[in-house]
Amino acid sequence: MSTALVRTSPDAGLARPARAARLRGLGAQALTGLALAGFLLLAGVLAPLLAPHDPLGQSAQSLTGPSADHLLGTDEFGRDLFSRVLYGLRQDAVVALLAVPVGAVVGTLLGLLGGVNRWADAIMQRTFDVLLAFTALIMGVTVASIMGPGLPAVVLTVALVNIPIFGRIARNAVLGQRNRDYVVAARVLGVSPTRVTFRHILPNVLDGLIVQVALSLSMAVFIEGAMSFAGIGITPPEPSLGSLLRTSIAFLDQNPAYAVGPMVVVTLLVVSFQLVAEGLTKKLLRR
């Protein structure tokens, strides 16, 4: 009742923080993650410019070790592994940046709907239960067996895995906010339920969702890797981080550097997204 610290300062006259200040507000951890992830994804997007060789171009020099020309050596068909890793990164960028937003938006919308309408909620909850019952890889097998392996199957799998996750978070957040006074106040003022949901509730539940986006991005990399590793993801000769890892196993004794490239990149990518997620959690959710 009378702790001096409870009183919030009035910061009178301060304008809204500028974008730079808000970025700094994310904290060192999240910023480090963001920088690392940005660097890796950019490298993937710019692969055609950065790659020293054609990722599909075969040559006679197979399974050489690292050299000045081939930074990571070559694979069993004499293709430059460094270039293949860059192009593989590109595939992962596509998966992560396409599938995660789709899953996040669809899942959030369904979750919000469920939080507002009781019937929609019942249906949604059971659907989410079913989706959650599949582990990512089983879901991948199912999707790939229906539409055939390849990039689209990976994207769809990642999106499907994310829908119930975001749905549940959004729904719980809505339930938590729904009886807050400001929501009641809006209803009493005659604000329509849809407007209440999007104008009042959504901005207040966004923090949790943003953190989940960062987590889901790392999961997307992981799922792509797992699916391609299992042979139901991105199909050869297209390179991907997962498929590179898979083939590298057979040649570990001839070119140990074969596995190093994709392994390091996958690890860095996952770690960077995790850093972002963890940093955001500290900043956004523990206020």
| Residue 60, Cβ density class (10 Å: 0-12 exposed, 13-18 middle, ≥19 buried) | exposed
> Per CB under 8 A, which of residues 13..42 are in contact with other proteins?
14, 16
Residue 107 CA neighbour count, 13 Å, CB half: 29
> Per CB under 8 A, which of residues 203..242 are in contact with other proteins?
203-204
Among 23, 35, 138, 185, binds other proteins (CB under 8 A): 185
Should residue 11 be labelled a site residue for other proteins when binding is judged by CB under 8 A? yes
Between residues 46 and 185, which has the closer beta carbon with respect to other proteins?
A: 185
What is the smallest separation between the CB atom of 276 and other proteins, expressed in angstroms? 22
Task: Report CA Rg, the chain.
Answer: 23
CA-nearest of 135, 100, 130, 127 to 111 is: 127
Strand partners, 251: none
Among 26, 101, 200, 254, binds other proteins (CB under 8 A): 200
What the block records as the tokens of 282 is 């500290």
Sole window of 93-101, 193-201, 208-216, 259-267 interacting with other proteins (rule: CB under 8 A): 193-201
Among 22, 180, 256, 285, binds other proteins (CB under 8 A): 180
User: How many Cβ atoms sit within 10 Å of the Cβ of residue 281?
Assistant: 19
CA-nearest of 286, 100, 147, 140 to 227 is: 140
What the block records as the tokens of 60 is 């006679």
Between residues 1 and 20, which has the closer beta carbon with respect to other proteins?
A: 1
Between residues 2 and 49, which has the closer beta carbon with respect to other proteins?
A: 2
Q: How far is CA 201 from the centre of its chain?
A: 24
Should residue 2 be labelled a site residue for other proteins when binding is judged by CB under 8 A? yes
What is the smallest separation between the CB atom of 268 and other proteins, expressed in angstroms? 33
Which residues make up the interface to other proteins (CB under 8 A)?
1-12, 14, 16, 180-182, 184-192, 195, 199-200, 203-204
